[in-house]
Amino acid sequence: MNNKNRPVVITCGDPAGVGPEVAVSAWKALKDEIPLCIIIDPDFLPKNINIKILDQAPLPSDVEKNVLTVIRHKFAEHRVPGKPNPKNAEATIRAVERGVNFIKNGQCSAICTMPISKSILKNGTNFSFPGHTEYLAHLDEKNTYGMMLVNKYLRVVPTTIHIPIKDITKYLTAELIEKTILTTHRELTSRFSILNPSIWISGLNPHAGEAGTIGDEEQKFIIPVIRKLQSEGYNLIGPISADTMFYGKKRRRFDAAVCMYHDQALIPIKTLDFHTSVNLTIGLSFIRTSPDHGTAFDIAGKNLANPASTIEAIKLAWNLSKKEQKDQ
């Protein structure tokens, strides 16, 4: 089946969050240019849109511009916006699994996942993963993966992802840093067609450790990894103090920044443009994107959620899938 005709599959995320409504808004914005389908309980959708309900992955002929193609997915309880229900956790997880299977079976071109609540999943199931990223890597049987945040200003990749600040140094190793840099390099060259990409690497400590006077992690394993990969021909600069990496002139000099922990990477990109930033999982055999925000239970069902990040996430997934097909 040609990628040109295979839809991007959307998973609804936690049904009590804003996922269902921003997904519908994104479909309305993109239905004339991108084929889409969504895995959801049809009862969770607005009654004023035209839908086509299927029980299996769609054929190209199932996807029409003015009709939302819905893959029926039953949840244990009805959707109550703003009130997450642990009884729906299992169905939330299974929706992601179904979406991945659609791609692996050649029925969809990419997946865009709406936000989940990790605490609800843990309360409602035996979900043992810190988040979507780790679960998707598990489904893809990948041990080397990462999370790249993308917008028109920046691409950033945190080396450690969903772990507490107090535990960062337990997980941050030379091996992990090297894997993250190499995965970032491969993604930039293969998915973004950037030859010899420039990657800047932050330090862990204030002032990148200031020659070992404010922490020694840079001296112990960050600098040795950077020097090793530089000697192998990779275009790297670092470690750089994270508080000086992202102002205007500097951020235009690199193709991606690899940071040491979650907020070090995500705060600058979301500050520059919160509403159009996109999460792209790197290192997978398939294309997965998501909006850069959470479930937003507090505004769910109130028509306040901004769909811009979801729109950009779907556009990125579609454009990368088209490039993937062209390269094959």
- Predicted TM-score (pTM) of this structure: 0.93
**Are 1 and 139 members of one domain?**
yes
* pLDDT reading at 17 higher than 70: yes
- pLDDT tens digits for 254-308? 999 999 999 999 999 999 998 999 999 999 999 999 998 899 999 999 989 999 9
Q: What is the pLDDT of residue 328?
A: 63
The answer as to whether 316 is a domain residue is yes
**Are 238 and 306 members of one domain?**
no
Show which of 252, 272, 292 is a domain's final residue: 272
**Are 117 and 216 members of one domain?**
no
Position with higher pLDDT, 323 vs 24: 24
- pLDDT tens digits for 63-112? 888 899 999 999 999 999 999 999 999 999 999 999 999 999 999 999 99
Q: What is the pLDDT of residue 60?
A: 79
**Are 136 and 164 members of one domain?**
no
The answer as to whether 148 is a domain residue is no
Query: For the chain, what is the HEC assignment?
Result: CCCCCCCEEEECCCCCCCHHHHHHHHHHHHCCCCCEEEEECHHHCCCCCCEEEECCCCCHHHCECCEEEEEECCCCCCCCCCCCCHHHHHHHHHHHHHHHHHHHCCCCCEEEECCCCHHHHHHHCCCCCCCHHHHHHHHCCCCCCEEEEECCCCEEEECCCCCCHHHHHHHCCHHHHHHHHHHHHHHHHHCCCCCCCCEEEECCCHHHHCCCCCCCHHHHHHHHHHHHHHHCCCCEEEEECHHHCCCHHHHCCCCEEEECCHHHHHHHHHHHCCCCCEEEEECCCCCEEEECCCCCHHHCCCCCCCCHHHHHHHHHHHHHHHHHHHHC
Q: Can you tell me the distance from the alpha carbon of 302 to that of 313, in angstroms, rounded to the nearest whole number? A: 22
CB 323 within 8 A of CB 189: no
Question: Among 48-57, 121-130, 173-182, which is the least confidently predicted range?
Answer: 121-130
Strand order in the sheet with 36-40: 51-54, 68-72, 36-40, 8-11, 110-113, 288-291, 278-282, 146-150, 155-158, 256-259, 199-202, 236-240
Which residue range forms the structural domain that includes residue 164? 153-272
The answer as to whether 104 is a domain residue is yes
CB 281 within 8 A of CB 317: no
The answer as to whether 59 is a domain residue is yes
* pLDDT reading at 220 higher than 80: yes
**Are 39 and 159 members of one domain?**
no
The answer as to whether 97 is a domain residue is yes
Residues β-bridged to residue 291: 278
The answer as to whether 277 is a domain residue is no
Question: Which amino acid appears at position 299 of this protein?
Answer: I
* pLDDT reading at 40 higher than 60: yes
CB 138 within 8 A of CB 129: yes
| CATH code of the domain containing 205 | 3.40.718.10
* pLDDT reading at 1 higher than 50: no
Q: What is the pLDDT of residue 247?
A: 85
Side-chain-side CA neighbours of residue 141 (13 Å)? 2
**Are 307 and 246 members of one domain?**
no
**Are 187 and 84 members of one domain?**
no
Q: What is the pLDDT of residue 313?
A: 97
The residue behind tokens 């029980």 is 55
**pLDDT band of 124, cuts 50, 70, 90:** confident
The answer as to whether 305 is a domain residue is yes
CB 181 within 8 A of CB 236: yes
Position with higher pLDDT, 232 vs 57: 232
**Are 124 and 158 members of one domain?**
no
**Are 1 and 129 members of one domain?**
yes
**Are 291 and 265 members of one domain?**
no
- pLDDT tens digits for 187-203? 999 999 999 999 999 99
Q: Give the rounded percent of residues in the chain with a pLDDT score beyond 70.
A: 98
Q: Considering its fold, how many domains does the chain have in total?
A: 2
Q: What is the pLDDT of residue 27?
A: 96
* pLDDT reading at 210 higher than 90: no
**Are 97 and 167 members of one domain?**
no
The answer as to whether 292 is a domain residue is yes
Arithmetic mean of pLDDT, 57-68 = 87
**Are 207 and 169 members of one domain?**
yes
Decide the pairing of beta strands 146-150 and 278-282: antiparallel
Residue 190 token pair: 């293969």
